Amino acid sequence: RNWTPIREYEEIRFEFWEGIAKITIDRPRWRNAFTPTTVKELSEAFAIARERADIRVIFLTGAGNMAFCSGGDMHVKGLGGYIDAGGVPRLNILDVQKQIRSIPKPVIALVNGYAIGGGHVLQVVCDLSIASENAVFGQTGPRVGSFDAGFGASYLARVVGQKKAREIWFLCRQYKADEALEMGLVNKVVPFESLEDEGVAWAQEIMRLSALAIRMIKAGLNAELDGQAGIQELAGDATMLYYMTEEAQEGGRAFLEKRAPDFNYNKRPS
């Protein structure tokens, strides 16, 4: 596949091919642990992927055959959190989690190895997860002095159930790909060599369907879980669709033409 770079980064790769944007965390030497720079780059890439109409599906993966992502880089973890180049503690990976959830396009995690700690939460918040047979899953927070009580807890529990989520966090065990599949943590497990092919097959199946329908269903699935923020997103989509109606167009036209709107109620669907 002829993946072409969308933008050059230091710690991630951001590429495009036939409707798919691929975001690869590129720090294999550190099992693809993320630093504040990685997080900033991820956030920018997801923002671009959101805006570009020719991007229909997004892959998130890790470089190499060892790790998807091993969470926050422990070398830059100081008091107050992960310290950026300016010395400011930041935990902006939580913003990336929110971006993945609210981006109105499917995000597919291609889990190519260890998905651990904050790296595991990243695969949890993706819409779909395809894992290679060598993938390993788990949280480590209570062992290394951290925890993610946000999506990493509540959304994980929605995915695998309360008992399993508590087991994952309270025991900090590692789970193999087949166990992850069994508990509903991933959608499919394939040999490492077929991981990207499988992802592309899923993406192409999705891209044959209605993008707007998929956007609405993602917003709907989130809305139930995300309270007012989730409903806001679904409502934003409803407003977007309303703008496309003659009725809404007439309201805007009438204002600009300084006349009373003529809402033709006969044409309104009942």
Residues lying near ligand 1HA in the complex (CB under 6 A): 30-31, 33, 67, 70-75, 91, 93-94, 114, 116-118, 140-141, 144, 146, 148
Q: Compute the least distance from the CB of residue 252 to ligand 1HA, in Å.
A: 43
Q: Which is nearer to ligand 1HA, 75 or 253 (CB)?
A: 75
User: CB of residue 186 vs ligand 1HA: minimum separation in angstroms?
Assistant: 17
Cβ proximity to ligand 1HA, 98 vs 164, nearer residue? 98
CB of 189 to ligand 1HA, least distance (A): 19
Take residue 215 and report the two structure tokens written for it: 């956007």
Q: What is the 3-state secondary structure (H, E, C) of the chain?
A: CCCEEEECCCCEEEEEECCEEEEEECCHHHCCCECHHHHHHHHHHHHHHHHCCCCCEEEEEECCCCEEECCECHHHEECCEEECCCCCEECCHHHHHHHHHHCCCCEEEEECCEEECHHHHHHHHCCEEEEECCCEEECCHHHHCCCCCCHHHHHHHHHHCHHHHHHHHHHCCCEEHHHHHHCCCCCEEECHHHHHHHHHHHHHHHHCCCHHHHHHHHHHHHHHHHHHHHHHHHHHHHHHHHHCCHHHHHHHHHHHCCCCCCCCHHHCCC
CA distances from 116 to 7, 9, 10, 39, 136 (A): 27, 23, 22, 16, 8
Nearest-approach distance from CB 171 to ligand 1HA, in angstroms? 14
Cβ-based nearer residue to ligand 1HA, 32 or 222: 32
Q: How far is the CB of 146 from ligand 1HA (least distance, A)?
A: 4
Minimum gap (Å) between residue 16 Cβ and ligand 1HA: 28
- Of the two residues 72 and 106, which places its CB atom closer to ligand 1HA in the complex? 72
Closer CB to ligand 1HA, 136 or 190, in the complex: 136
* Residue nearest ligand 1HA, Cβ-based: 71
| Nearer residue to ligand 1HA within complex by CB, 136 or 206 | 136
In the numeric block, the tokens 């994952």 are attached to 168
Name the minimum Å distance from CB 147 to ligand 1HA: 6
User: Would you say 97 or 102 has its CB closer to ligand 1HA?
Assistant: 97
